């Protein structure tokens, strides 16, 4: 993290005479890509050494990122999954570590010159891990793309100020440098594993750049994790105000509203997110859950169906849609969904239980019993599966098995259930003794 030095000056117009970054060397050693960059910045007057250093390092970072993308695209075989340059650069993000190997200043005539040698290092194994994570996380992909856009925008602004004849005001330069500091604090906050530290760093980022939408977005998430739900809503709302075309603000605000049981507000926010991006399965899934709680089962089914279309591997969407079908007594459809869930995970005890319950509702007691038994095979402590199998055994006149199952249910639940005495009554009526 760079240290910000406050400079008092009477100069109001700055001329950034020239800015350059040259790649000195690129090499691979022990699975690490090493890029050496020399960045030089010439400033006529009014810019401090510290400010020049910040601008030069930011430009060097951008040059190193571009070079990493070029190198890894042309040497992908055996190193990383084949991707184009921009995809590689987006994936790198904060994995690129910078270090200063040499720096010096000198005055040529009346022009201040700052020169810095930066070594950028990238662990290719870490990059491969991240590329795999990106394939499984839409949120991470969007996050890294946003990071890349911001870094590039800052570097482009530096280059613009360095264009001959361009006049940068004192305010513009200070704003640019504040934005660079804000970005550094943002990275530290986003990747911190300490929740309080995350909030602290993201707050520093926001103070330096109150227009940084993603800093509000991720501080909002930190507040959510800290159960500071109103603070989270405020930050998500600010992120939306700053960038109304970014769907994650609406999605996350919807999640908080659901947490607060404000399901109508949650549904509204998920709808706004879908209007911006109709390809995100998670949003349909979340809205379906809100509809389900409000007993709007057909709306829930419709959204779960869309979520499944977008992500056919989502076992929870199949199970939840199956439960919705069950409630509206569409048992065949429920059976189909629970079977799909089992195809995706043949060890899911809840899917077997729900399938057994659906068969029981259709008076298919043997099939119900088989699936309750499967549920118990994968989760022997699943009390309700004993209850369900006990019911099936009772209807099938297998009273000893039914009594054993009801006793197992009572053993697991004890006197914590309101109808415990009713189960004991059933056991006695079948000619057996309640054990619990």
DSSP string, 93-130: GGG-EEEEEEEEEEEETTEEEEEEEEEEEEEHHHHHHH
Question: Are the beta carbons of 55 and 124 closer than 8 angstroms?
Answer: no
Digit-coded pLDDT (tens) for 218-247: 999 999 999 999 999 999 999 999 999 999
Least confident of 68-72, 153-157, 252-256: 153-157
Distance, in Å, from the CA atom of 76 to the CA atom of 78, rounded to the nearest integer, reads 6
Distance, in Å, from the CA atom of 376 to the CA atom of 110, rounded to the nearest integer, reads 83
Question: Are the beta carbons of 256 and 287 closer than 8 angstroms?
Answer: no
User: Is it the case that residue 142 has pLDDT exceeding 90?
Assistant: no
| Cβ-proximal residues to 174 (8 Å cutoff; 6+ apart), any chain | none
Digit-coded pLDDT (tens) for 303-343: 999 999 999 999 999 999 999 999 999 999 999 999 999 99
| Cβ-proximal residues to 228 (8 Å cutoff; 6+ apart), any chain | none
Indicate the pLDDT class of residue 128, thresholds 50, 70 and 90. Answer: confident
Least confident of 28-42, 76-90, 158-172, 357-371: 158-172
Indicate the pLDDT class of residue 154, thresholds 50, 70 and 90. Answer: confident
Reduced to 3 states (helix: H, G, I; strand: E, B; else coil), residue 67 is helix
Average pLDDT score over residue span 370-375: 98
pTM > 0.85: yes or no: no
Question: Are the beta carbons of 32 and 88 closer than 8 angstroms?
Answer: no
Indicate the pLDDT class of residue 13, thresholds 50, 70 and 90. Answer: very low
Reduced to 3 states (helix: H, G, I; strand: E, B; else coil), residue 166 is coil
User: Is it the case that residue 408 has pLDDT exceeding 80?
Assistant: yes
Distance, in Å, from the CA atom of 93 to the CA atom of 253, rounded to the nearest integer, reads 26
State percent of the chain over pLDDT 90: 60
User: Is it the case that residue 258 has pLDDT exceeding 80?
Assistant: yes
Phi, psi dihedral angles at 296 (to 5 degrees)? -90, 70
Distance, in Å, from the CA atom of 421 to the CA atom of 415, rounded to the nearest integer, reads 9
State percent of the chain over pLDDT 70: 90
Q: What pLDDT is attached to residue 1?
A: 32
User: Is it the case that residue 392 has pLDDT exceeding 50?
Assistant: yes
Q: What pLDDT is attached to residue 208?
A: 95
Highest mean pLDDT (candidates 34-43, 65-74, 297-306, 426-435):
297-306
Q: What pLDDT is attached to residue 396?
A: 97
Q: What pLDDT is attached to residue 165?
A: 61
Q: What pLDDT is attached to residue 149?
A: 85
Average pLDDT of the chain is 88
Reduced to 3 states (helix: H, G, I; strand: E, B; else coil), residue 413 is helix
Q: What pLDDT is attached to residue 141?
A: 80
Q: Distance from CA of residue 306 to its chain's centroid?
A: 21
Full DSSP string of 171-215 = HHHHHHHHHHHHHHHHHHHHH-S-HHHHHHHHHHHHHH-TT-HHH
Reduced to 3 states (helix: H, G, I; strand: E, B; else coil), residue 19 is strand
Domains present along the chain, CATH in parentheses: 1-189 (no CATH), 347-436 (1.25.40.10)
Q: What pLDDT is attached to residue 14?
A: 37
Q: What pLDDT is attached to residue 78?
A: 63
Q: What pLDDT is attached to residue 108?
A: 64
Digit-coded pLDDT (tens) for 173-231: 788 889 989 998 998 998 899 999 999 999 999 999 999 999 999 999 999 999 999 99
Indicate the pLDDT class of residue 109, thresholds 50, 70 and 90. Answer: low
Indicate the pLDDT class of residue 168, thresholds 50, 70 and 90. Answer: low
């Amino acid at each position: 993290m760079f240290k910000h030095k406050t400079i008092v000056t009477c100069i109001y117009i700055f001329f950034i005479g020239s800015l350059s970054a040259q790649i000195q060397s690129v090499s691979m050693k022990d699975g690490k890509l090493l890029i050496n960059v020399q960045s030089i910045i010439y400033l006529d007057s009014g810019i401090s050494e510290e400010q020049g250093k910040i601008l030069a390092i930011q430009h060097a970072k951008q040059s190193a990122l571009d070079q990493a993308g070029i190198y890894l695209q042309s040497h992908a075989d055996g190193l990383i999954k084949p991707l184009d340059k921009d995809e590689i650069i987006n994936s790198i993000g904060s994995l690129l570590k910078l270090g200063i190997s040499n720096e010096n200043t000198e005055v040529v005539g009346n022009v201040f010159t700052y020169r810095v040698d930066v070594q950028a290092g990238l662990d290719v194994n870490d990059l491969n891990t991240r590329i795999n994570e990106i394939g499984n996380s839409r949120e991470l992909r969007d996050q890294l793309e946003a990071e890349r856009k911001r870094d590039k925008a800052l570097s482009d602004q530096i280059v613009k100020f360095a264009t001959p004849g361009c006049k940068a005001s004192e305010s513009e330069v200070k704003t640019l440098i504040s934005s660079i500091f804000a970005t550094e604090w943002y990275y530290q906050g986003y990747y911190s594993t300490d929740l309080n530290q995350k909030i602290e760093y993201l707050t520093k980022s926001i103070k330096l750049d109150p227009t940084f939408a993603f800093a509000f977005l991720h501080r909002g998430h930190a507040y959510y994790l800290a159960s500071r739900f109103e603070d989270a809503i405020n930050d998500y709302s600010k992120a939306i105000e700053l960038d109304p075309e970014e769907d994650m603000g609406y999605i996350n605000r919807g999640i908080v509203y659901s947490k607060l049981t404000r399901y109508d507000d949650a549904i509204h926010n998920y709808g706004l997110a879908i209007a911006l991006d109709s390809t995100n399965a998670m949003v349909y899934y979340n809205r379906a859950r809100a509809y389900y709680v409000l007993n709007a089962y057909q709306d829930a089914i419709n959204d779960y169906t869309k979520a499944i279309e977008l992500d056919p591997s989502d076992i929870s969407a199949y199970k939840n849609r199956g439960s919705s079908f069950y409630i509206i007594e569409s048992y065949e459809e429920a059976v189909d969904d629970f079977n799909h869930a089992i195809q995706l995970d043949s060890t899911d005890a809840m899917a077997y239980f729900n399938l057994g319950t659906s068969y029981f509702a259709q008076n298919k007691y043997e099939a119900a019993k088989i699936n309750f038994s499967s549920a118990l095979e994968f989760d022997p402590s699943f009390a309700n599966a004993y209850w369900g199998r006990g019911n099936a055994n009772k209807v099938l006149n297998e009273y000893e098995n039914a009594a054993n199952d009801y006793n197992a249910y009572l053993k697991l639940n004890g006197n914590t259930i309101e109808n415990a005495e009713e189960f004991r009554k059933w056991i006695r009526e079948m000619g057996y003794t309640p054990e619990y």
